[in-house]
Structure 1
């Protein structure tokens, strides 16, 4: 185990960004300058920022030729799914959106047929304008040589650079696409906690080619254990398997159990506890198949006792509170088996407490005030001081909200079944799924 891994387990290397922490000093090492080949110094800072996990910030300075270089590298774990961000840039305010772009992310602008492939640039924490400036600087770097050796190519690139500069001034609308199979990139939503109408976030399963590029082993491990076919045994047994903590990467155990939810179906509940950093997490997976119809559950909150209702939110379920103009996408928070109060507290933590744009240089008085007001409204809902509706919209039909009047109908809860759209089937991967016709001729 390396020194960084040992310190990571003890929680001694990667610390939260805190300008008042005097102990959070960078590590300085002597390194070779690739510009003049003299010795310079590299400063390394191991830190954490929300939504980007653990990162290594490195800054090189050469005292001989004054050359400098700054990079950001992800030191956290590769996420379970890749992520695709599609942003419609319409105003100059969109250029100020903050962006975390990892090494493995590719950037595309379809209107210009322009692409920055993965692993051609180092990871960066910037803005949309900063991404365009970086692209322009990369194209301009070798222009003097091109003008001397190939004027025709240099002229075409010059025209392309001018088009990029016009996009920076937002003289025309364009689409920015960031595709990161590692799942460690991020684009800011300045309208938080409201839904961002200009930004679409799609999570997807990596292909074997993506895994190979990221250096993830895909070899199938042989398993000589006897498969478990007795469901009664599984219902009464807690399965334990070894894993790593998602926070500190220390060895931990994950407990898994098959649970029957009354008046609903069976689900698989997984819980991980880390003895090193005390991090605790739980996740819920549906034990059944995708339903033929989607489910939309609408609950009118009329009493504080509604907060104790059991709730199952699958990974494909989105949460809406119309009175707050709030929508939580299906990928956020993952699958959860909790109470309505627990879900609202998790939403508040995600939007307010764990929002990276609520602290440091990223914070503005207007944005912080808006999010603080949203947190106060969530507290009022939990206390029963606001009359709102909570909507669970699950196109897979695998989410559940307890009916306290069961088996009689709940007067304050409405359950609707609906036919999924083509786009919803596409998100669930059902359009390309073939489940019959495999019999040998």
Structure 2
């Protein structure tokens, strides 16, 4: 009886969305008898809940009907619609790029500018770049026999276009693939341990039409206005949310904190009693600054590891001596220390990346990751001094503690700079009208 209780406890403690590992001999697949829309007999739907590394939870569904042979597969995001839409632009150069994993939701649009080709939103899929092109070829070829009889000229043009699509797979020359998803839940795999030089990721504010297509409430702005009267300063607000690790209900605490010699920020802390997941995120409490900010700290002593760091969700990090840099928003917003940031980088690269562990990992890349993490450890232990820790935030909302305050810090340089057009575009500032907005 005790063994059965322990087994039940172990099963219930498992996360609903789990990573696929070599230890799972039989992945947990749910089977549901459901109606076939083609022959109206009963078929079988299989649901598999999994987690895609460096992305999020997804639900993979597959329907099979033994009566008529109809088969269909689909992918749906396991989480909520994101705050902003996302746009991926990746340059395809070699066979490895064709094998990049792609999560395409049913709201995503795929485009290949070189061919002036655009595939409108369709059913969600977990595929590859090559799979996207092959699906486009299959879709165009589907009605060709009938089209050649009824509209021979159009059929000839489609045949010519199919040839061009197939030539892309031969990689005679590079081409761009663009994925745009207003829900923010699509994804293209990054093949590099750091910033991918072949891929550009940007986030944008959804239009009113996008929100309507996604079924989002149009009363959100009115709700925000009603909540403006709430004074959160000096209070800790708590609300229930789903744990990003196990999807169980957990509590998130929100607190406004005044950082000395800086400004007010909003700290959100999530703790899950079910799986033990803990996370914190920081948001700027006073909007975007007129200029961007670049903070450069020269680490000269192990005590520098204890400096407080406020990294906003838009900030990038770099360590020039290690040829290391991240893109805007990597690691999210954090209120921690220099040591905490370095440990988060190490954890992201080494412990949270299944691609670089196990039998399937590439030894050369695995060795480089291990070597880089060893250098991070040397910095933390004070064995590697004189390196520069650079925090660059286009919104100006990041902070690194000055231990000599209110005097200047001899080891730290703070530069204010004008944002580029591209940075303003990514922050959604180019289309924002703040003067005479009633008169246009």
Where do residues 158-169 of structure 1 align in structure 2 (5 Å cutoff)? 158-169=159-170
* 2:175 maps to 1:177: no
Q: Distance in 1 between matches of 2:138 and 2:291?
A: 51
Q: Is the 8 A contact 2:16 2:49 kept in 1?
A: yes
Match of 1:97 among 95, 100, 103: 100
Partner of 1:433: 432
Q: Is the 8 A contact 1:49 1:356 kept in 2?
A: no
Q: Distance in 2 between matches of 1:321 and 1:103?
A: 39
* 2:396 maps to 1:404: no
Classify the secondary structure of the residue corresponding to 1:84: strand
Partner of 1:111: 114
Q: Is the 8 A contact 1:109 1:174 kept in 2?
A: yes
Q: Is the 8 A contact 1:52 1:100 kept in 2?
A: no
Partner of 2:217: 217
Partner of 2:202: 202
Partner of 1:270: 268
Q: Is the 8 A contact 2:288 2:397 kept in 1?
A: yes
What does the per-residue CA deviation read over 1:81-134, in whole Å, with 9 as the maximum and x for residues that have no partner?
A: 22110112233432222222222211011121111111x23322x221121112
Greater CA deviation, 212-221 or 179-188? 212-221
Q: Is the 8 A contact 1:86 1:200 kept in 2?
A: yes
C-alpha change, 1:23 and 1:12, in structure 2 (3 Å) is farther
C-alpha change, 1:292 and 1:35, in structure 2 (3 Å) is closer
Partner of 2:419: 420
* 2:75 maps to 1:72: yes
* Alpha-carbon offset, residue 318 of structure 1: 0.8
Classify the secondary structure of the residue corresponding to 2:404: coil
Q: Distance in 2 between matches of 1:189 and 1:50?
A: 10
* Alpha-carbon offset, residue 196 of structure 1: 1.8
C-alpha change, 1:435 and 1:29, in structure 2 (3 Å) is closer
Classify the secondary structure of the residue corresponding to 1:16: coil
Partner of 2:3: none
| Number of aligned residues | 427
What does the per-residue CA deviation read over 1:3-22, in whole Å, with 9 as the maximum and x for residues that have no partner?
A: xxxxx997564332223224
* Alpha-carbon offset, residue 386 of structure 1: 2.7
Where do residues 109-188 of structure 1 align in structure 2 (5 Å cutoff)? 109-118=112-121, 120-124=122-126, 126-188=127-189
Q: Is the 8 A contact 1:259 1:266 kept in 2?
A: yes
Considering only aligned residues, what root-mean-square deviation do their CA atoms show, in Å? 2.9
Partner of 2:238: 240
| Alignment gaps of 5+ in structure 2 | 1-10
Partner of 1:4: none
Q: Distance in 1 between matches of 2:37 and 2:438?
A: 62
C-alpha change, 1:128 and 1:369, in structure 2 (3 Å) is farther
Q: Distance in 2 between matches of 1:238 and 1:39?
A: 52
What does the per-residue CA deviation read over 1:169-207, in whole Å, with 9 as the maximum and x for residues that have no partner?
A: 1223221100112222222222222x2222101122223
* Alpha-carbon offset, residue 311 of structure 1: 0.3
Classify the secondary structure of the residue corresponding to 2:74: strand
Q: Distance in 2 between matches of 1:66 and 1:41?
A: 11
Match of 1:53 among 51, 56, 70: 56
What does the per-residue CA deviation read over 1:385-434, in whole Å, with 9 as the maximum and x for residues that have no partner?
A: 33421111112211111112222322222111222222222222222333
Q: Distance in 2 between matches of 1:135 and 1:204?
A: 26
Match of 1:85 among 81, 85, 88: 88
* 2:369 maps to 1:371: yes
Classify the secondary structure of the residue corresponding to 1:15: coil
Partner of 1:5: none
Q: Distance in 1 between matches of 2:412 and 2:226?
A: 48
Partner of 2:4: none
Q: Is the 8 A contact 2:73 2:125 kept in 1?
A: no
Partner of 1:352: 350
C-alpha change, 1:285 and 1:224, in structure 2 (3 Å) is closer
Q: Distance in 2 between matches of 1:439 and 1:181?
A: 27
C-alpha change, 1:374 and 1:205, in structure 2 (3 Å) is farther
Greater CA deviation, 84-93 or 241-250? 241-250
C-alpha change, 1:189 and 1:159, in structure 2 (3 Å) is same
TM-score by length of 1: 0.87
C-alpha change, 1:226 and 1:325, in structure 2 (3 Å) is closer
Q: Distance in 2 between matches of 1:226 and 1:291?
A: 21
Q: Distance in 1 between matches of 2:234 and 2:48?
A: 48
Greater CA deviation, 382-391 or 136-145? 382-391
* Alpha-carbon offset, residue 37 of structure 1: 6.1
Q: Distance in 2 between matches of 1:110 and 1:128?
A: 15
